[in-house]
Amino acid sequence: MNEAPRVEPCVGCGALVPVVDGPGPTHEYMLASPGCWALFGEASARQYADLRYAAPGLQMIDAYAVQHPGVPARRSSQSVWIHLVSLCLRLEHGLSDDVTIRLIQRLASEKRDYPWLEPPSSLGAVTVVDVHAATTTEDHVAAVRRWCESAWDAWAGHREDIRLLATRAQ
């Protein structure tokens, strides 16, 4: 008899993710449960195994980063700001990955302190679990799009500040 996998809420995004026995690997400053980090790694690996999955790869990073903001610190603050700007540039300004990457690299290289943005109580209803569950390329791409929109919508309370930085970056 097959036993149902054990799940737990991710300490970052709140999604129900597989329990990983032991400490398990996670990100250095994004707060995530090992099971969530593993799902992200598996979903990300698809883009290397099958190039049809590669198109939304950078958006996946943005959505994951803003759903796992970490704790107040210089790198985590900068990460949230940069990834929210990236989402804004793609979703609201319709910029391509190439242009967005160039703009956020410039922002990231600036010597500035990004203030801590208090995370919303819900980081979005769509998570890496939804992307991981996609079984076709089309489902994967659509799930990543919904994930990005959900993550961007979750941070609506900071949207005006993010939009100002996105406009300044262009």
pLDDT, tens digit (0-9, with 9 covering 90-100), for 125-167: 999 999 999 999 999 999 999 999 999 999 999 999 999 999 9
**Residue 2's pLDDT band (boundaries 50, 70, 90)?**
low
Tens of pLDDT, residue by residue over 41-93, are: 999 998 888 887 777 778 999 999 999 999 999 999 999 999 999 999 999 99
Evaluate whether residue 1 is within a structural domain: no
Write down how long the chain is: 170
Tell me the per-residue pLDDT of 93-123, one tens digit each, with 9 for 90 and over.
Answer: 999 988 999 999 999 998 889 999 999 999 9
Closest CA to 78 of 109, 103, 114: 114
In a domain, 137, yes or no: yes
Number of domains in the chain: 1
Residue 159 belongs to some domain of the structure? yes
Q: Does residue 164 form part of some domain?
A: yes
Query: Is residue 49 included in any domain, yes or no?
Result: yes
2 domain-assigned: no
Domain that includes residue 72, residue range: 7-169
CA distances to 28, 38, 73, 90 from 147, rounded to whole Å, are: 22, 17, 25, 13
Q: Does 62 fall in a domain?
A: yes
Tell me if 44 is assigned to some domain: yes
In whole angstroms, give the CA distance from residue 131 to residue 33: 17
Global confidence as pTM: 0.93
pLDDT recorded at residue 143: 95
